[in-house]
Every structure is written in C-alpha cells, then in structure tokens.
Amino acid sequence: MIGKQILIRLVDDRSGHWGHLNFDNFRFHTERPVLPSELTLKDTPKNAAPPADQVLFAGLSAADAAAKATLPSGFAMHVFASEPDIRNPIAFCEDHRGRLWVAEGLSYPKRVGHPPANGTPEQLRKDFFSGKDRILVFEDTDGDHKADKRTVFLENVNLISGMEFGFGGLWIGAAPYLMFIPIADGDAPKPAGDPQILLDGWNYTADTHETLNTFNWGPDGWLYGCHGVFCPSHVGKPGAIENDRQWVDAGVWRYHPVTHRFEIFTEGGSNPWGIDFDEHGNLWSEMCVIPHLFHMIQGARVLRQGGEHYTYNRDETQRNAKHRDQRSRKSIFPYVYEDIGTHADHVHWAGAAGPHAANGRSDAMGGGHAHAGMLCYLGTSWPASYRNNLIIGNIHGQRMNVDLPVARGSGYVGKHGQDLLNFNDRWSQTLNQRLDPDGSVFVIDWYDANQCHHGRDDGHDHSSGRIYKIVYQNQPVTRTNLAALTPNQLVSLVGSKNEWLSRHARRVLQERVAAAGAQESVDEIPAGIRDYARTRKAAEKMPALEALLDAVDGSGDATSRLRALWALHLTGRILPEDAARWIRDPEPQIRAWAVQTFFEHSGMLFNEPTFEQLAGSAVEALVALATDDPSPVVRRAVASAAQRVPAAQRWSILKGLLSHAEDASDFNLPLLYWYATEGPVSTDADRATELLKECKIPKVREFIARRLTQMALAKN
C-alpha cells in the first residue's frame, strides 16, 4: 500500500443528538465504489460553514464594556461592581434588603485537596476552609446603581458553585457538600457559626463546571438547584449508606429547608447552569451543547447529553436493583424508552451538523450552543412586552438570548425572541442574572479570554470579573427591608406583580412560621410528618394568613391567586378541605397547583408510611381529575403526582389519564403518562394487559406492550 492512494469514507448513521465518529469499522474495496451521497469538491460551496462571527472587542475595562454593549432603546447597563472589588463571580443571590451576595470562584477549576474520609467536624471544617473562594456582600447605599459598600463575609472557601439566602443563613453548594451557614445579620453581616453539612456525595473529581449550581427558591418553598451530566454523584446525608443515597448525574434537584428532604425534580439534560420560575410556577432551565430550552416538569425525563437515565425514588430503585451499574453503582432506569426533547422550536447554532460545527459562526442564529443563566422576567419597571420573557446568557455569543414561551397543550413552545443585548466583547461570559427590588436586572460576568472548561489552573484568568445592572429609563433605586415588616404587611405584598417583592415576602412568611413551628410540641404525630405538623400549628396562630385564603377564593387574576396559594402552601396553612375546593376551581392553573398541595402540603412523599391513612382522599381526587378534567395542564399535574403514589394505587388514575385520546399528540403528556405507568405495569402483568386494551394513547400502548414483552422474556 505504500505509495498508493487511499480514499476513506466516514459514515455517520446516528439519528440522535451529537456524537463522535469512531474509526473502528473499515470496509475495503479493490476499486473505487460509486457513492450516491458523496460530496465532491464542486459541492463544497453549498456545504461551507457560515462566515466567522465578527466580534468587535475583547479585553475591555468594565466601563468600556458597558459602553460598547448594544441594548434596546431606553435601556442602560451600569457597572455595579468590577475588578479588583470582584473577581470571577460564579454564583449570587439577594437578601430581604436587596443586598447582593456574590461568590468568587477563585478555586476553580480544581478543588483544593480532598475531604478526609469519615473526618471529624474539625477536619471537615479545615478542609472546607482550605480553598481560595470568597463570599462578598455588595450594597448600593446612595441609589446610583453602583455598589458603594462591600463586605467580606467569608474567605478561603473551597470550590463554591451555588448559593442562596434564606432562613437566617446562606445555602452553599461546594462539592462534595450542600451546606448552611447561619448569619448574624445587620449592617455588616458575618457568620454566626460554623458551616452545617446537610448533604454530601456531590462529585467534584469528574468535571468541576457541572457541580451543583444556580440555586433558586421555588414557589413551593423548596430550594432548587441544577447538576450536570458528567458529574456522577451519590448524594445523601453525611454517613448515609448507599441505599439511603440518591444518584444524580443530570437534572434539577430540590431540598426542603424545614423537612430536610432531598429529591430529584426532573431528570436528564446536559450541564444546566440556570433555572427560574414563571408566573404560573413552571420551572425553566437552559442547557449547554444540546438544544437550549426545557420546561422542567416534575417527574419528567428530558433529553440527556449522554449516559443512561437513572431511578429517582426508593420504589423505582428497588424494582430496578439488578440494573445498578456494578462499577459506578449508578441506579439505572432502562424503561424510559423515550425522553422529552427541547421545548424550543429553534436552536442557537448554525447548520444541521451539530452544536460544535459552527462555533464562532452562529451569530445570525443566536450566538452558539454554550448557555448559562436563566431569568424569567417578572419585574414591573421594564416595558410590559418583556414580562414572562426567558432571558438566557450565551457565552460564545457574548449576548443574552430571549425565548418567548407560548402556551401549547399541556405546556409551552419556546419561540425565538430578539436578543436582549450583545456585549460585542469576546471575553464576556455571563453566568446568571437576577431581578432587583425595582425590576432592574443584575448580571454576573466571569470575564475571561478562555470560554471553555478545562482543568488547567493557568488557563483561567482570576484577575477580572464584573457585575452589571440593566436599568430601563433610569428606574430609581428603592431601599427595602422585608424582614422588618409585619405579617399583615408581608401578606399585602404576596399578590404583587413585582416578583421580587412577592417571592421574598413569601419566603419571609415561610421562615417565620417555620421558626415558630420549631417550638411546637407534636409528639403524638407520626415521625414522618412532624415537621409539617409543627408548621401547621404555628400557621394557625398567624391570623394574617387568613387574608390569603380570601385571595385564593376571590375574583382576582390567576397569577395573584396563585401567589396567595403558594404562600399558604409553604406556610402549611392549607387544610384538606381547601385543596378539595380548589381542585374544582374554574381556573386550570389553580386546579393544577391544588393537585400539588395534596401531595406536599400534607407532608406526603413517595413511600411515606402514613400515606394510605392521610392521602387516600388525594388519590380519589386524582382519579376524578384524570378522568374528567378538560385541561391538559391539569392532567399534566396529575401525571406528575401519580408518580408519587405507590404503584398499586395508580391503576384508576392511569385508566382515567389514558382514556384521553386527544392527548396523543401532546408534546409532554404521552411520555409523562408512560413514566407514571411503568411502575404498575412492571408489578402486575395481568392488570397491565387490561390497561393496554383500554389505553387510547398509541405511544403508551406501544410502551406497555414493549415492557410486557421484556417481562415475559425475562421470566422465560
């Protein structure tokens, strides 16, 4: 063969998302074959990559970067803080005063050292404080949209990636830990004690830009966070054995600040670094590398960048014990069959050759595949046309994309909106954005010539970083302190269209009820729901909450009524008769959230020992809604809730859901129905066969038959 010409043809027959082409299956020919699909030199012009993006600037000062950015008319971008006062901002949040708490990721890309196995509290404390990260507090005291007060709250922290404020302290993600640090609040906040390790097992050894991140309080009072696909983690309370831990390698998780429960909310994705909730309480997440937009529905399995889907409740894990990977101990769930794809009708990269094929050449499409940060704009100072817009950071595109969620069936489709801004600066790489009390938007910018993750310490610039503030029509700064308000004053803010005020008012109410509940005696209550029972007893002693009941039952718009319902839900003030009344409400969004209150307000989670005793009426309600409710939004909530019901009690619920032939073409429902159906099918083949005969959803019929076939083959 030496000196001979050889022609090599590479065949990619992959039908899914992007992958790698391997040189491992050669077929040799003695003569050059005729290839109908061959691309010759004359074909290259029509298959050429788009032209390279023209980015005007790089390495600007903070002031110049703000001046060179392109924004819509009426908007201005202020430099709230910049280097040397802030470097490498990786996570941030706001407190009840509107102060900005910012984590500097100076340890990234490597954690300093390794935690000692079975370490003493002092050893763990030493390990935690062996890093380079800091937590800073910024405040604008004179109202000029620039921070003039800076407090160093904590130093030498190790590999921070997520942070949120609430319940008298900071919730910090710093793999391998989820921690809580109490705060001595005041004009100069400082720690009021050592970090408390709540969970461990978060992996930092595989990929440190996909660890637990972008925390956010949900309307249900849980702390939500993201986790990436290439960080295989086994999460649980310190000292927990394998069977008491939850596998996480892609998805959105949540942790309850009062009951201290941890669970997966939605499984799948890539390396999300941004979540937020819209005005109906829907959770949205951006993704990187795979298509960018997902409506993260509770119990959904969404498109994964790689790897297999995993189990995420005890019953599911026990049923699939034989599928546990023997090397990694991943609790594999092989019966997803099909996952839910992107909820956007577009991507932000050019061409059909995959997300990487047009790196630096996707300007016209939105800037490329690398996204970080998610904000659903629910402020009141920007033009009304921005309300409910999903604002998504685009790193390679040095801009902020906008997706417009349009209701469709049980959910939404994300339409391509006009970019909010373009930094015109190749070094810009914003990581997240948040509302301020006046409806303006804060943005953190890591700011670095290198835009891709790698493990070299010398490959990242640790000298720069910025915080910007995007303001419309020079909106004045309002000073606030919600912690100083009375319960009646907080209740009056719950229905506000200004989401910052409503969200923080709800949280402060939850904190106060939880603090009062901790003093209540409920020894006669089963251990599994004592935290809930204490909260309910305390809520009954706060008469201000009665006004929220009137608001839910009133004639206000759906969003203000929902805010009142959420506030009642997270304070434990809802009684069973309230939820029973709301599942008959004329508004579908109220009915859908009433379903969720049945299964969380009563402290009921999957396999709770007291489930049958306390949640029987909830199952009856689900059956009625599954069968007769005309709204696909409500049926979506029922499908999510059904997965939390023991498999043996789901049959009537499933019969109702699967009777809706009109749901066959819905983007979410057939797959959500299957995720709820797989458990019962796998445990009772005879009843599954009867359900198969009655099912009117073709995709679910196919999957039931497939599962039954696998069961029969395994049995034989």
pLDDT given at position 120 = 87
Residue 525 and residue 452 share a domain: no
Query: Does the structure show a pLDDT above 50 at 614?
Result: no
Residue 41 predicted with pLDDT over 80: no
pLDDT at 605: 41
What is the model's pLDDT at position 371? 97
CA distance 520 to 20: 58
- The pLDDT of residue 523: 66
How far apart (Å, rounded) are the C-alpha atoms in residues 370 and 379? 26
Asked whether residue 245 carries a pLDDT value surpassing 80, the answer given is yes
Q: Which has more pLDDT, 112 or 598?
A: 112
Instruction: Give Cα 259 to chain centroid, integer Å.
Output: 20
299, part of any domain: yes
Q: Which segment of 11-20, 175-184, 225-234, 372-381 scores lowest on mean pLDDT? A: 11-20
Cα separation, 209 vs 110, whole angstroms: 10
Helix or strand or coil: residue 428? Answer: coil
**Which is more confident, 455 or 301?**
301
Least confident of 11-15, 276-280, 441-445, 483-487: 11-15
Q: Are residues 428 and 532 in the same domain?
A: no
Q: Is 482 among the domain residues?
A: no
> Among 190-204, 374-388, 421-435, 568-582, which is the least confidently predicted range?
568-582
Which pLDDT belongs to residue 31?
80
What percentage of the chain has pLDDT greater than the value 70? 90
Whether 484 is in a domain gets the answer no
Task: Establish if 480 belongs to a structural domain.
Answer: no
Classify residue 44 as left (phi > 0), alpha (psi -120 to 50) or beta. Answer: alpha
Length of the chain: 716
Least confident of 14-28, 382-396, 447-461, 626-640: 14-28
244 and 277, same structural domain? yes
Confidence of residue 610 (pLDDT cuts 50, 70, 90): very low
How many domains, the chain?
2
pLDDT-based confidence at 5, cuts 50/70/90?
low
Same domain, 206 and 69: yes
Q: What is the DSSP string of 546-577?
A: HHHHHHHHSSS-HHHHHHHHHHHHHTT---HH
Start-to-end Cα distance in the chain: 52
Domain termination residue (choose one: 420, 439, 472) = 472
pLDDT at 351: 85
pLDDT of residue 395: 96
Provide the domain limits for residue 550.
492-715
pLDDT for 17: 47
pLDDT attached to residue 134? 97
Model confidence at 607, pLDDT cuts 50, 70, 90, reads very low
Which CATH number fits the domain that encloses residue 138?
Answer: 2.120.10.30
601 band by pLDDT with thresholds 50, 70 and 90: low
What pLDDT is stored for residue 109 in this prediction? 93
Which pLDDT belongs to residue 609? 45
Do 387 and 265 reside in the same domain of the chain? yes
Amino acid at 56: L
- Position 604 pLDDT exceeds 90: no
The pLDDT assigned to 330 comes to 95
User: Is the pLDDT reported for residue 222 higher than 70?
Assistant: yes
**Beta carbons of 366 and 402 less than 8 angstroms apart:** no
Question: What is the domain-level CATH number for residue 578?
Answer: 1.25.10
Q: Is residue 16 part of a domain?
A: no
On whether residue 11 sits in a domain, the answer given is: no
> Of 424, 441, 472, which residue is a domain's last?
472
Please report which confidence band the pLDDT of residue 530 belongs to, taking 50, 70 and 90 as the band edges.
low
Position 24: which residue type? Answer: D
Q: Does the structure show a pLDDT above 60 at 19?
A: no
Cβ neighbours, 10 Å, residue 432: 26
Q: Which string of b and e fits 141-178 if b means at least 16 CB within 10 Å?
A: eeeebbbeeeeebbeebbbbbbbbbbbbbbbbbbbbbb
pLDDT tens digits, one per residue of 545-588: 999 999 999 999 999 999 999 999 999 888 778 888 999 999 99
Q: Is the pLDDT of residue 383 over 70?
A: yes
Which pLDDT score, from 0 to 100, does residue 9 have?
A: 67
| Domain final residue, candidates 427, 442, 472 | 472
In terms of domains, do 319 and 427 share one?
A: yes
Domain check: are 426 and 333 in the same one? yes
In a domain, 215, yes or no: yes
Residues 513 and 465 grouped into a single domain:
no
**Mean pLDDT, residues 88-109 taken together:** 97
600 versus 84: which is more confidently predicted?
84
610 vs 630, which has greater pLDDT?
630
* CB 291 within 8 Å of CB 303: yes
Q: Tell me the C-alpha to C-alpha distance, in Å, between residue 489 and each of 127, 166, 396.
A: 43, 19, 44
Higher pLDDT, residue 528 or 106? 106
Mean pLDDT for the chain? 91
- Which of the four pLDDT bands, split at 50, 70 and 90, describes residue 596? confident
Q: Are residues 522 and 607 in the same domain?
A: yes
Tell me, yes or no, whether 153 and 206 share the same domain. Answer: yes
pLDDT at 319 over 80: yes
> What pLDDT does 304 receive?
97
Q: Are residues 460 and 498 in the same domain?
A: no
The token duo for 226 is 């993201």
624-669, pLDDT tens digit by residue?
A: 999 999 999 999 999 999 998 889 989 999 999 999 999 999 999 9
Report yes or no on 35 lying in a domain: no
Whether 573 and 516 map to the same domain: the answer is: yes
